Chain A
Amino acid sequence: MNPPDLTFNLPFEPFTPVTCLNYKQTNKDGSVYPTREGEESDRVVFRIYNNLALNPSVITADNIRITTYDGIGLASMTSGQSLVSQQWMRMYEQFYGESTPLGVYKFTTYLDTDTAVGGAVSRYKPKYGSDRATSGIRAGSDTNGYGFIELTSYLEVPYGTGMGDYNFVITVEYDYVP
């Protein structure tokens, strides 16, 4: 058996992999600006799939937890960096489901609690997993459908942030049993 294969994907066909999430702010006139301090960014929706590629023998990812860390790349979550300061992201589950290669789909809308995330302490645990019964994302390899959860995310930038580009990475922690 192979470990879970989690990917970030856009929430619509053909579920293209997400390369970078940008959090900006759209004015009433439709113009797009950087997010102002003290305000909220536009909502960014993405999915986390397990084994969208439908490879054989991939394991379910149990007990999903999501958080963010400051900075760019893996150094953002090592002891070489300070504590997480950018606890600006909020997210909530809004959709979950599973598909199969045969085209049988099971999707459900569900609005979970809007939760602030950041660092090891403030992590978001989706209420439902891809099959609703568990808190995991199934992989489609052990007779079930390949699963996903869909998340809405946005930034709540505090006053006093100042101008500039701020970078962070998103980490998904999970358990699995081979």
Chain B
Amino acid sequence: MTTYHKNKNSYFTAILREGGHTINDMTGRWKDISSEKIIESRTLHVSEKVKELTVNYGGLSKTIEIPEGCGVFQAIRSAVTFLQDGTKDTKVKGRLMGIVKDDKIIEEYFIGNDITGYKYD
């Protein structure tokens, strides 16, 4: 039996188009309902099966509805810093989510505590 771990501070909740079933980090994996695509030179895990996606991170929450004919992606964003003493520090910076249509990103959100204010590129 596969067990899944739900982090109470970082998780997604997706409502599927078919049957209106809900899936989250506790009941499944995003990879199980998505496929890997290269869009705008980025690797995104896009699902065509979701009609509504909510992402929670650190007390923040964002819900998006996905129009017919569009896909949705989400992922965790992290960073590792290599220090002079040979150790490394890994931090989760937040979660990103967005909508794609015709192999283009038409909406994107970042939910996290990173306030550097830069665009992805």
A contact set with B: CB distance below 8 Å: 1, 3-4, 6-8, 17-20, 62-63, 69, 72-74, 77, 79, 120-121, 125, 129, 133-136, 167, 169-178
Number of A-B contacts (CB under 8 A): 95
**What's the minimum C-beta distance from A153 to chain B, rounded to whole angstroms?**
12
Q: A3-B90, A19-B86, A135-B41 are in contact. Are A171 and B80 (CB under 8 A)?
A: yes
* Chain A hits for B93, CB < 8 A: 173
Does the CB pair B116–A120 fall under 8 Å? yes
**What's the minimum C-beta distance from B48 to chain A, rounded to whole angstroms?**
16
Q: A1-B29, A62-B75 are in contact. Are A135 and B82 (CB under 8 A)?
A: no
B13-21, B30-38, B54-62: which lies at the interface = B30-38
Q: A1-B29, A136-B43, A169-B84 are in contact. Are A176 and B78 (CB under 8 A)?
A: yes
How many chain B residues have a CB neighbour from A under 8 Å?
34
**What's the minimum C-beta distance from B109 to chain A, rounded to whole angstroms?**
14
B8 within 8 A of A: no
* Chain A hits for B84, CB < 8 A: 19-20, 72-73, 167, 169
State the CA gap A135–B34 with chains docked (Å).
18
* Chain B hits for A175, CB < 8 A: 43, 75-78, 96
